[in-house]
Structure 1
């Protein structure tokens, strides 16, 4: 199959995706565009809610299976945009638009790669591709909902912007809601138990606290207070301060262990984890996918950002065109040549890799 033609078609699809709003849980229209891709390439597909998926033509249940996955939902554009976030345009080798980098470039590159291998009779493994929904919101109808529907997978390539280097591990995430209490009162009267003032040493504790275990790949656990809220009017001292704490968990801790530490040691009056299911993930440096990537000159690293890897129970590799630092930024873009490179590297990687069935 002509790789250049597939690449041109992938870039055209990305432009359509950019110009079609697809906030998490609102991906109906972009799912239709992905359906159209499969139809144009004469590939049978299935759709479950807003997840669109397919298997290679000569799928053989006796062979190991590789999942190719990326998402077609986006966050909402931030207020710093000066471009129209839903206008796809090229300038200086860049393709601008919301979702271009996170993760549209990865998705269309994986779609092109899957299409390239779809009719190959000689594959030593199966391919399953899932263009998934609700990744940005960790929603219940995203990739996590597909794992009981698609065939059993042995390893996954998750398309997120990594500059086509090998993210062999990524941090997990636990979000905590915390409360600091005080005595409500009129602002004109003395009050030695002001909840806002009480929060000052608590904020300092979160700023200074360090978890003891460091990961060779993922470094330290990263804890950040990201939201704080208190009070309703100028002349009332509030009875409590609410805080949100974002904790990025390395592979030296389970999410449950992090929760137990903060419940035991933090100086908050209340602190509760919203969920514990977004765990850290990794793949062995000796896995054939990683070894093949290293042979191609790709670097390995640990990623601080969360992806749909968190819902997978198999080993997974995060790999894709684009740069993670551009994600969720104003005037988001991806370089056209990053997509071209991404497709070529995906294809070479899958041509090189030898996956053995453990069953």
Structure 2
């Protein structure tokens, strides 16, 4: 098997559920140091650097070391990676250890073939991306100046040129508590469940005034409901949790105001940090990547990632694997795709850094 595949199997075999990344981080630190790469491991990330001989731009390859818990439904040991045909099975095989392995081997290839003439390549591997405790923000701040970034997530090696943001909202509807036998609207009675239900029915038609050319409309989806004291008492409060997937056409403040204008329930924003991202117009990184992979599709990603911490840079999201297989039982990645990613990342680093 190619080196990146054997390395990926070793990464999968080290369980690294969010919050438990130390063992895999130490393994990467020790392995890349043996390769002769410059590596620093700290509380925020493992960072590998390949320096050019002269001044030039900085290109970052970024991904994460944590995985979600295996969950139920596996027919294989999630941390005993096995190969069946062209598939490599295991938790994190696609999301996102395939990107990690390909990026690290691309950095190794650069060093093994004489390094780079100018600029620098950074590989930044963060922790906790699958939770709200991601360390990538701190890692980026500590990395110094960055000109462009590739976010390693499963995209089938197509290019995500925009990414939805995420705003979490609590809808709280107020009503009257009384015996259900006397639940009548004749005396001004308000049923909180009916108020909330009416608001939820309005969600599909919200945010229609703006449509992003790649991502489409922003959308709000109810994901949790809570109401009720007893089966024969009308609830004084009914609550819903909304998952609002934003686009660059809206700020999160504008989306919250749109909800408040359209709905009767109280709108309480509980999280707004994951803002949407998009590749800037005229991106040199995207132009360079497209020359190397002219058949790659350009698309808008519905899922959030650490791209949010690179939103002010020229950036794309691209990696081996398929996003829909992330977090599933019997997760797998296609081996040829990982090998192709190794070659693509290396070619992209050379072309971008040498063509500045």
The alignment's TM-score, normalised by the length of structure 2, stands at 0.89
**CA distances 1:286-342 after superposition (whole Å, capped 9, x unpaired):** 322211222231222221211111122212111111111111222211011110111
Write out per-residue CA displacement over residues 29-62 of structure 1, whole angstroms, 9 at most, x where no aligned residue: 22122213213312231112151112114475x3
Instruction: Pick which of 184-193 and 222-231 moved more.
Output: 184-193
Matches within 5 A, 1:185-334: 185-186=178-179, 190=183, 192-231=189-228, 234-268=231-265, 270-296=266-292, 297=294, 298-312=296-310, 313-334=312-333
- Hey, what's the Cα distance between the residues in 1 that align with 2:118 and 2:100? 23
Separation of aligned partners in 1, 2:235 and 2:79: 42
Q: Output the CA distance in 2 between the equivalents of 1:78 and 1:184.
A: 40
Could you say which residue in structure 2 is the equivalent of 1:38?
A: 32
Which residue in the other structure is 2:61 paired with?
A: 68
**Larger strand proportion of the pair:** 2
Q: Does 1:347 align with 2:346?
A: yes
Conserved in 2, the CA contact under 8 Å of 1:68 and 1:157?
yes
Whole-angstrom distance in 1 between the partners of 2:302 and 2:180: 43
The answer to whether the 8 A contact 1:64-1:355 is kept is: no
Structure 1 residues 153, 196: closer, same or farther in 2, change over 3 A? same
- The alignment yields a C-alpha RMSD, in angstroms, of 2.3
User: CA offset at residue 238 of structure 1?
Assistant: 3.2
Aligned to 1:163: 156
Change (3 A) 1:214 1:188: same
CA distance in 2, matches of 1:42, 1:236: 70
Q: How does 1:74-85 map to 2 (within 5 A)?
A: 74-85=67-78
Partner of 2:131: 137
2 CA distance for matches of 1:29 and 1:341?
27
Deviates more, 1:107-116 or 1:10-19: 10-19
* Mapped contact 1:168–1:285 kept (Cα < 8 A): no
Q: Secondary structure at the match of 1:212?
A: coil
Aligned to 1:4: none
- How many residue pairs match? The answer is 348
- Structure 2 CA distance, aligned partners of 1:184 and 1:22? 48
What secondary structure is seen at the aligned counterpart in 2 of 1:176?
Answer: strand
Gap runs ≥5 in structure 2: none
Over residues 72-112 of structure 1, what are the superposed CA-to-partner deviations in whole Å (9 max), with x where a residue is unaligned? Answer: 11222343434332231111211111111111111111111
Inter-partner Cα distance in structure 1 for 2:226 and 2:70:
23
Q: Contact 2:279–2:316 at 8 Å: present in 1 too? A: yes
Q: Distance in 1 between matches of 2:354 and 2:274?
A: 27
